[in-house]
Amino acid sequence: MSVPRIAVSGVRRQWQGAGRTGVNAVYVDSVASAGAVPVILPPTIPPEHAARALEGVDGVLLSGGEDIDPTWYCMDPVPQLGALDPARDRFEFALFAAARERGLPVLGICRGLQLVNVAMGGVLWQDLPSERPSAVQHDRRDARDARTHGVAVTAGTRTADALGAQALSVNSFHHQGVRTLAGGLVATAHAADGLVEAFEGTEGAWLVAVQWHPEEMHGDPHAPDRGLFSALVAAAREAYCR
Ligand code: MN
């Protein structure tokens, strides 16, 4: 059985006095547990080298992190906009385009979901509490694996197949969200307030994105969320064997 390689988009952070690059370990742990080799791609790679960065890679995981610069979707920034990383934006948009060009499967998580929506022509809420007030608190301060709000998943979708569930409770650490879903995408899970919590591509290679953080459920062997990584790896294995 082949072992696919999954690119995981990384972050830049200051840590103990040094600028460093990496990603939360639970992302790479989740990919490795699903049977693939995780390969972290730092956001400092020039965007024109995105296709080269994907050589030998069979699938892509777009990780969470900073807000996307709203100029990418033609909006002026609101005061509540969070931290940006313009270089990371440029690299990840190029990475996503290169992945689609190659027909590679893509899993987007949190910022990754938002990036896919914007890349395909969608628009985001820049700050849910001020722009789209709701009874559902999406930007929680709980433990990373605390399931704090429900989502309803549409039956018969790739998202539902991956999760093996049509209703589950999820963790939630986001203050942005899908305002207008891009063409070529279909919403596959919603919170009780109607916010899109997952979507998938309607054509082309396997493309699923979720607004919550399935990687944080890594410690629970029975978590349905782990099915998202298994499905990504299965799709990557198909790409590898093609
Ligand atoms: Mn949420």
pLDDT digits (tens, 9 = 90+) for 199-221: 999 999 999 999 999 999 999 99
Helices (H), 23-157: 25-33, 50-53, 86-102, 111-119, 128-131
| Joined tokens for residue 168 | 């589950």
Give every CB contact of residue 224 below 8 A, 6+ residues apart in sequence: 163, 164, 165, 168
Q: What is the mean pLDDT of the chain?
A: 97
Contact of 30 with 229, CB cutoff 8 Å:
yes
Going by C-alpha positions, the residue among 184, 196, 144, 148 that lies closest to residue 168 is 148
Catalytic entry in 138, 149, 174, 213: 213
| Separation between Cα atoms, residue 79 and residue 127, nearest integer Å | 9
Q: Which helix (H) or strand (E) holds 109?
A: strand 106-109
pLDDT at residue 50, as a whole number: 98
| Cα 176 to averaged position of ligand 1 atoms, centre (Å) | 9
Going by C-alpha positions, the residue among 52, 57, 65, 15 that lies closest to residue 40 is 57
* Residue 110 designated active-site: yes
DSSP annotation of 197 reads E
Whether 240 has a pLDDT exceeding 80, the answer reads: no
pLDDT at residue 239, as a whole number: 79
- Tell me the percentage of the chain whose pLDDT exceeds 70: 99
Span 39-47, average pLDDT: 98
Give the other-Cβ count within 10 Å of 194's Cβ. Answer: 11
Pairing of strands 18-22, 11-15: antiparallel
Catalytic entry in 92, 197, 200, 215: 215
pLDDT digits (tens, 9 = 90+) for 53-78: 999 999 999 999 999 999 999 999 99
Span 27-34, average pLDDT: 98
Q: Judging by beta carbons within 10 Å of its beta carbon (0-12, 13-18, 19+), is residue 66 exposed, middle or buried?
A: middle
| Cα 84 to averaged position of ligand 1 atoms, centre (Å) | 20
Q: How far is CA 29 from CA 8, 166, 171, 216, in A?
A: 11, 25, 18, 10
Whether 242 has a pLDDT exceeding 80, the answer reads: no
pLDDT at residue 1, as a whole number: 53
pLDDT at residue 169, as a whole number: 97
pTM, to two decimals: 0.98
Whether 238 has a pLDDT exceeding 80, the answer reads: yes
